[in-house]
Amino acid sequence: MADLESPDDEAARHREKMQKRKAVQDARVAQATREKGLLMVHTGPGKGKTTAALGMMLRTAGYGLRVGFIQFVKGNWATGEQTALTRFSDLIDHHVMGEGFTWDTQDKERDIAAAVRAWELGRRMLADPQYHLVVLDEINIVLRYGYLDVAEVLAGLNARLHDTHVLVTGRNAKPEIIEAADLVTEFQAVKHPFQAGIKAQRGIDF
């Protein structure tokens, strides 16, 4: 019968394994020397894309850096983030530019006009050196519907200042946007309370 590994041997084996892993990780960190403004994408059918963007905005503001936040779809209904962000109005510029969901507005021309206005503001933010991070919330949705030209938007994103980070959110991100991005996170839907007839919850969904 083989001898069982002693606690000291197990600890030594674990320590050796972690030392090797640390060496690999340190080498990777040492190789990452470039700095640039990132193009980031939150997409996919799962919940949490805007919520994650809000966390990144809070992190940026925590360093005293300015954020531009444009919501392309959400209308002027009360949300928890809208109220909370007023407390950071010196660092986060929040603009609700949408007319609401397309099935609510039922007016394509009005939706297109709202998208164009929001994008013009976004372009100005991307060219403004005071913004460290610009979040274009749910712009992927208006691109999917063809309310904005993807080539024009991509050109605007690529023309941003070198050190400006930009995050675009919304399901069904265009392949051109994904290809150009530095970071893409796809949110998957595994289970959602709405499927069980549970309504949207204050503080969780809005």
Contact 94, 82 (CB under 8 A): yes
Residue 6 lies in a domain: no
Residue 119 lies in a domain: yes
Q: pLDDT confidence of 17, banded at 50, 70, 90?
A: confident
Q: Say how far apart CA 181 and CA 157 lie, in whole Å.
A: 10
Whether 195 has a pLDDT exceeding 90, the answer reads no
Residue 19 lies in a domain: no
What is the domain-level CATH number for residue 167? Answer: 3.40.50.300
The domain total for the chain is 1
Residue 203 lies in a domain: no
pLDDT of residue 202: 87
Q: Whole domain around residue 160: which residue ranges? A: 35-194
pLDDT of residue 183: 98
Q: pLDDT confidence of 123, banded at 50, 70, 90?
A: very high
Find the mean pLDDT for residues 110-133: 96
